[in-house]
A and B are shown apart, each in its own frame.
Chain A
Amino acid sequence: MELEFFIEKTALVLVLFVLTLTIAAYSTWAERKVAAWLQDRVGPNRAGPFGLLQPLADGGKMFFKEEIIPNGANKYLFIAGPSLALLVSFLGTAVIPFGQSIEIFGRVVPLQVTDINVGILYIFGIVSLGVYGIMIGGWASNNKYSLMGAIRGASQNISYEIAMGLSIIALLMVTNTLSFKEIAAQQHGWHWNVLYQPLGFLIFLICAFAETNRVPFDLPECETELIGGYQTEYSAFKMGAYMFAEYINMFVSSVVMAVLYFGGYNYPGMDAVNQALGPTWGPLIGVGVMFFKIIAFIFFFMWVRWTVPRFRYDQLMDLGWKVLIPLAIANIVITAIVIVGFDLFNKL
C-alpha cells in the first residue's frame, strides 16, 4: 500500500467522521429551531449568536449528568446497547460518493472512502444492524416500557425493510448496478432517478422515516405511551448516544436518498461549471450541491416531524404490510413492463 493512498483515505475518513458528528450535533439545534419556526416561536437563541452554541451546552450537560444503571439491568448489555447504536450509525457513510474525483497536487482523489460493488447491500446490512442497539438496550433495561419499545422497534424495522428493499429492486432494474459510485455517475446532469422512479422514491422515503424511528413512526420511543420506550432507563451520555445515533441515522438516510434518487453531486449544467473551474474546484461545487440536497432532506424530516401526529400501532402495520408492500411490488411490475416495452420499441 502506498503512503499517499493511506494518507488520502485516513484524511477522508477523519473529515467524514467529524462532519457526521457536527451535522448530527447541529441537527439537534436545527430541530429545535425548525420546530420553533413552524410554531411561530424563535427557538434557542441565548447560547451564542442565534443559539449556535446550544449543541455544545447540551453535550456538556450530557457528560456531567449522573449515570444511572438500574439494579435489575444486565450491566454489559446495558452499556452495549447505546454503544452499538452509535457505532452502527457511523458505518453507513463509508460507501457514499460525496463528489466526483478531485485533483489535489496532481493526484486524483475519489471522494468516497471505499467503492464496494455491493454498496447498496452494505447499507442495507448496516441499517438492519441498527435495530440491535434498540433491542439490546430495551431488553437489558429490565423495564416493561423499554421492552415494549424494543419489540415495537424490531417489528417496525423488519416490516418496513421489506417495502424498502422492494422499492430499491425497482431502482436497481433501472440502474443495473449495486455500486453507489456508478449509480451516482449515471445520474449525470438532470437524469435523476426520482424522475424515473417517483413511486419508488415515495415508498423509500416513507420507509426511511420508519427505519430512522422518526415521527410519524416513532413508536419505539413514543414519549406519551411508553415514556421514552427503549430509552426509559438511560441517562447521561448513554441517553445522549441514543439521541445522537438517531440524528446520525437521519443524516445517513438523507445521504442515501440524495445519492440514490436525487442525483447526489449532479446538477444541471455541471459540465460547463467543471470546464470553467477546472478539476480541483469544479467537483467541490458538486460536493456543495450534494450537501445542499442532504440538508434539504434533513429539513424535510424535521418539517414532517412537527406536522404529522404519530401513527397508531395497527395503522403502522396496516400501512407497511397492506399498502407499501403491494405498492412496491406493483412498482416493480410496472418498471419491468416499461423496460421491456422500451427494449422492444428500440428493436423495431
Chain B
Amino acid sequence: MESLSGRKKVLEQKPMNFWERMYLPAIFKGMAITFSHMFKKKETIHYPEQQREFSENWRGMHSLKRDEHGRERCTACGLCALSCPAEAITMISAEREKGEEHLYREEKYAAVYEINMLRCIFCGLCEEACPKEAIYLDGPIVPSDYLRKDFIYGKDKLVEKPLKEMEAEKAISR
C-alpha cells in the first residue's frame, strides 16, 4: 500500500549469512562494548553520603515555618488537613495564653500537629491551602525507618528551629 507520510520503511527479513549464523562475531562485538563500560564513569550516587541536586520546585519533607520574630505562623485553622487528599494531616488546636506572644503569632495555635509520612503523597496541596504561609514542603527526602509509628511526624520534627539556632548555623556555614 502507498505510504501517505512518505516515511514508511519496509524491513526485509534476510536469512542469516554464515557469519551471522556463527553468532560469535556478534557476541565478541557485544563483549567489547560491555568491557568498555567497565572504565566509564559510574552513574551511581552514594545516597546517604551524596545527594542528588533537587530542582527548585522539589517537594520533600514538610516544615512548619516561623515568622521574622521567630514565632510559629500556624493558627491551626485545619485547611491543610481539609485539603489533604491522603488524609495524612491531623492537629489539635489550643488558645494562646498570656506571656506566650513570643511563641505563637496568632491567638490560636496547633498544640499537636501530626503528619503521617506513610500516607502523605507529597502533592503540595497543604502548602497551597495554607493562608498563613506556615507549611512548606521544602525539606529533604523523608528517611526510612523500621516501625510504622515512627513515620508519624509530630511538631518536634516538623517545626523550624528557633531563629537563634538558625542564625548560628548560618554563621558556621559561612
Contacts and interface: CB of A to CB of B under 8 A. Distances in A.
Interface in B36-57: 37-38, 40-44, 46
A201 to B, nearest CB: 13
A139 B42 CA distance: 43
B34 A306 contact: yes
Contact of B43 (A38, A40, A202, A319): A40
Contacts of A65: none
A155 interface: no
A40 B23 CA distance: 25
> Size band of the B side of the interface?
10 to 19
Nearest to B33: A307
Nearest to A45: B46
B118 interface: no
Contacts of A323: 21-22
A319 B16 CA distance: 14
Contacts of A41: 42-44
Given A308-B27, A308-B30, A303 B40 contact: no
B16 to A, nearest CB: 11
B19 interface: no
Interface string B118-162: 000000000000000000000000000000000000000000000
A63 interface: no
Interface in A290-306: 303-304, 306
A42 interface: yes
Interface string B6-46: 00000000000000011110010011011101101111101
Contact of A40 (B24, B30, B33, B40): B40
A304 B24 CA distance: 12
Contacts of A22: none
A39 interface: yes
Given A307-B27, A308-B27, A38 B34 contact: yes
Nearest to B27: A308
Nearest to A216: B27
Contacts of A40: 37, 40-43
A39 B37 contact: yes
Contact of B31 (A37, A39, A202, A303): A303
Contacts of B21: 323
B30 to A, nearest CB: 5
Q: Which 8 A/B pairs are nearest by Cβ-Cβ distance?
A: A307-B34, A38-B34, A37-B38, A42-B44, A307-B30, A40-B43, A307-B31, A42-B42
16 contacts: A37-B37, A37-B38, A38-B34, A38-B37, A41-B43, A41-B44, A42-B42, A42-B44, A202-B24, A303-B31, A303-B35, A304-B31, A307-B30, A308-B27, A323-B21, A323-B22
Given A38-B37, A303-B34, A308-B30, 17 more contacts: A38-B34, A38-B35, A38-B38, A40-B37, A40-B43, A41-B42, A41-B43, A42-B42, A42-B44, A42-B46, A303-B31, A303-B35, A307-B31, A308-B27, A308-B31, A319-B23, A323-B21
Interface of A: 37-42, 202, 303-304, 306-308, 319, 323
